[in-house]
Structure 1
Amino acid sequence: MSTRHILLGLLGTGSSHGYDLKRRHDERFPQARPLAYGQVYTTLQRLVRDDLAEVDGTDSDGGPERTLYRATEAGRRELARWVGEVTPPAPFVTNEIFTKVVVSILASADPAGHLRDQRAAHMARMRELTAVKTAPDADLSTVLSADYALSHLDADLRWMTTTATRLASLTAEVDTA
């Protein structure tokens, strides 16, 4: 995820200070890792350095003085370029679960037990996400974000089921290699 592009997008709605950008990020992307304030301000400094954003004055709102930022024309062009790019599928598929299954076989551990435990963890997370998306106060961003995560967890579960049925063959293959 590109923090600089997300902040440029949030600045596209008008001038904002770092605190407001962090709050709006966390509201718009509820299932994402929350941004740290330090990350927001460091990214804003880089955007200014790269002429993608500029300082648009200060605002105190009755409290401490805060610097307002706005996207520059170059920042708007950069954002449009980034949004228009197709995100390529990952060139290499790395799967920690698969790696642990193979290492379990190599270490004479219990790959089937690992798959069972992993399945239980996935199911628990799916229940959490389902509760989040079906909450009466869930907004569309939350629902769509949870749907995305649920789809990926479901794909993992299907893969685990297939792998469990092929475990004897995989074990024989790993043992002979």
Structure 2
Amino acid sequence: MSTAHVLLGLLTGGPMHGYELKRSHDQRLPQAKPVAFGQVYATIGRLQRDGLVTTAGHDQEGGPERTSFEITEAGRKRLDDWLGEIEPPAPYVTSVLFAKVAVAVLVSGADRARDYLVAQRAAHMERLRSLTAVKTDPDSSLGDVVAADFAILHLDADLRWVANTLERVADLHREVHP
């Protein structure tokens, strides 16, 4: 995920200071990893350096001084270009789940991989239940539901892979222990 582009998108709604940007990020991308304050300020610094955001004002209402930022025309253009780019499918398998199973088979054979896959399937099923609860909660926002759908479909793909791999591991076990 491009934090810079997400922050530019958030600034299209009007000027915000760093704390507001972090809060808005975490609310509007509810299933994404929360962005750290330091990351917000470092990213805003780069965006400001590159002319994509500018200072909109300063506020000291009941606390420390806060600098608000707003998106520039160059920032709007950069955001528009980014939104128009098609994301290429990932060329490599970069899943920790895949790596653990591959290493378990390599190091310990089929039994360890099977035990891990069974435990992982249970963890995925529990996560599916919690995401389904988000989707059926009448207080969930559209962002919450869309994020839950995204996560559910990825978990579903993982679960199909786990089932397929459990079959392959069972075949390997039968070959090794006829």
Asked if TM exceeds 0.5, the reply is: yes
Which residue identity lines up with residue 51 of structure 1 in the other structure? G
In 2, Cα distance between the equivalents of 1:3 and 1:172?
48
Match in the other structure for 1:55: 55
- Structure 1: where are the runs of 5+ without partners? none
Q: Please, what TM-score do these two structures have when normalized by structure 1? A: 0.90
Per-residue deviation at 1:171? 5.9
- Structure 2: where are the runs of 5+ without partners? none
In 2, Cα distance between the equivalents of 1:98 and 1:170?
17
Match in the other structure for 1:42: 42
Question: Aligned residues, how many?
Answer: 174
Structure-to-structure mapping, 1:17-166, within 5 angstroms: 17-109=17-109, 110-166=112-168
Q: Give 3-state SS (helix, strand or coil) of 2:67's partner.
A: strand
Match in the other structure for 2:16: 16
1:55-94 per-residue CA deviation (whole Å, 9 max, x = no partner) reads 1121233433211111111111100010110011001123
1:5-39 per-residue CA deviation (whole Å, 9 max, x = no partner) reads 01111111111111111111111011111111111
In 1, Cα distance between the equivalents of 2:85 and 2:172?
39
Q: Please, what TM-score do these two structures have when normalized by structure 2? A: 0.90
Q: Give 3-state SS (helix, strand or coil) of 2:117's partner.
A: helix
Note if contact 1:101-1:115 (Cα within 8 Å) is conserved in structure 2: yes
1:91-128 per-residue CA deviation (whole Å, 9 max, x = no partner) reads 11233323322322222252111110110111111111
Which residue identity lines up with residue 48 of structure 2 in the other structure? V
In 2, Cα distance between the equivalents of 1:132 and 1:24?
19
Q: Give 3-state SS (helix, strand or coil) of 1:58's partner.
A: strand
In 1, Cα distance between the equivalents of 2:97 and 2:12?
39
Note if contact 1:18-1:40 (Cα within 8 Å) is conserved in structure 2: yes
Name the stretch that deviates more: 27-36 or 95-104.
95-104
Which residue identity lines up with residue 44 of structure 1 in the other structure? I
Over the aligned positions, Cα root-mean-square deviation in angstroms equals 1.9
Name the stretch that deviates more: 83-92 or 105-114.
105-114
